[in-house]
Amino acid sequence: MNTQVEIVTIGDELLIGQVVDTNSAWMGQQLNLAGFTVNRITSVSDNKHEILSILKETTERSAIVLVTGGLGPTRDDITKKCLCEFFNTRLILNQDVLADIQCFLKGRVTHINPLNHDQALVPEKCTIIRNPIGTAPIMWFNSNSGVVVSMPGVPSEMKRAMEIEIIPRLKKTFINQAILHKTIHIFNIPEAVLAEKLTHWEDNIPSDIKVAYLPSPGKIRLRLTGKGADSVFLQNHINKAINDLYPIIGENIYGFDNEPVEASILKLLSNQKSTLSCAESCSGGYMAHLLTSIAGASQVFKGSVVAYANEIKTGLLGVSNTDIETFGAVSCQVVEQMALGACKTFNTDYAIATSGIAGPSGGTEEKPVGTVWIAWAANGKVISQKFQFGNNRERTILRTAETGLILLKQFIENNKI
């Protein structure tokens, strides 16, 4: 069956670059996971001619067309009118939608104005999917050539509709096999080296399992996708493939699926009833930010000292001034004292400390820009490692914070600390 999808995002703000179209990437990811192939993404402006053209082009090419945007109450949003014209239908009042709008706006506005009231006018020929978290409903059109679905461009509304309604319905109509995924998070190994190490492993994977490499700075996600009639069978194949990975690159695996490492660490420490603090020089508060972005972090995370100035490293973290002068702030000696100091200052079981040269200035021949020391302390013990993260300041900050968290997780799991 044809499972080709086109995504159309509508909005002037996309074309003048005021807003980055993150909807398409998210939709592409979810559709791909569900077994569909996205073969084109198009952004057009809130212009009748443009919208009608793209509807004609996409429905001629592809069985499934998913449209976001242009459904707001204001005059510039014309997607609904264009859909009516395209599908040769008219707008009628839908009482359910009106009730949803009234319910959603209750307490937010003093009265429903005519613009919001008109959002309850929907094309006669379409199936309505209700939207409890916004004022624009989702419109599902069946045509000779396939399906056109129009949904709001607000990411939270689009995502809810896609997850709960649209993808399940599309799967039911277009997909007739089981699809399973497992993503393995791998770290500290270049893509080419990983691919070489995994040649034999890949050769021995059953043909119903496909492997994809998804690299990002310092990390690679390895995605296994199984497609077939029997999901139990597929799951066994995937499990076996993962078990076979451990003898080859077990020490580089740090996580699975969609959980970010900061969430894994907090869960791990929460289960242990342990606490964590940080002492951050070159990561500059970003590690604390990653941790505190997770709801409930305060159960485990006590805080961080962002010690940009040396006198803070000595004053708040008890680093020896002589050692800073002898070895420099970016050194094994100083970063280990920072980690031990954080454990003491915050009275925590674990601490991570960072010290490095994020650049662009401050590098020397011996310690070039990108040199970073990270230390991990627990129960009076401390270990540290040196890294070279290159000369991009933003990336060095990011990789320092992530590496600190990933390795803490590994050290705890492998009883190395």
Residues near a second copy, by CB under 8 A: 14-22, 24-32, 37-45, 50, 214, 278, 280, 284-289, 291-293, 295-298, 301-309, 311-312, 315-316, 345-347, 358-361, 393-394, 397
Q: What is the DSSP string of 16-44?
A: TTSS---HHHHHHHHHHHTT-EEEEEEEE
Nearest distance from residue 316's CB to a second copy, in Å?
Answer: 7
Residues 6+ apart with CB under 8 A from 89: 123, 124, 125, 126
Name the 3-class secondary structure at 372.
strand
Q: Least CB distance from residue 337 to a second copy, whole Å? A: 16
CA distance 165 to 358: 46
C-alpha Rg value of the chain to the nearest Å = 27
CB 380, min distance to a second copy, A? 20
Nearer to a second copy, 22 or 176 (CB): 22
Nearest approach in angstroms of CB 43 to a second copy is 4
DSSP 222-277: EEEEEEES-HHHHHHHHHHHHHHHHHHHGGGEEEETT--HHHHHHHHHHHHT--EE
Number of residues that this document lists for the chain? 417
Closer of 135 and 345 to a second copy (Cβ): 345
Shortest Cβ 292–a second copy spacing (Å): 3
Min. distance of Cβ 193 from a second copy in angstroms? 15
Paired residues of 362 in beta bridges:
none
In angstroms, what is the minimal distance from the CB of 19 to a second copy? 7
Task: Using DSSP, state whether 66 is helix, strand or coil.
Answer: strand
b (16+ CB within 10 A) / e for 235-257: eebbeebeeebeeebeebbbbee
Nearer of residues 228 and 303 to a second copy, judged by Cβ:
303
Residues 26 and 159: beta-carbon distance below 8 Å: yes
Nearer to a second copy, 239 or 298 (CB): 298
Beta carbon nearer to a second copy, 271 or 361: 361
What's the min distance (Å) between Cβ of 91 and a second copy?
26
123/226 with CB nearer a second copy: 226
311 vs 325 by CB, closer to a second copy = 311
Which one, 256 or 308, has the nearer CB to a second copy? 308
Nearest CA to 226 out of 247, 245, 240 is that of 240
Which two three-digit tokens encode residue 115?
């613009």
Which residue lies nearer to a second copy by CB, 138 or 307?
307
Number of C-beta neighbours around residue 211 at 10 A: 15
d(CA 51, CA 9): 10
Shortest distance in whole angstroms from residue 406 CB to a second copy: 18
Question: Which residues are CB-contacts of 206 (< 8 A; sequence separation ≥ 6)?
Answer: 237, 241
Q: Which helix (H) or strand (E) holds 375?
A: strand 371-378
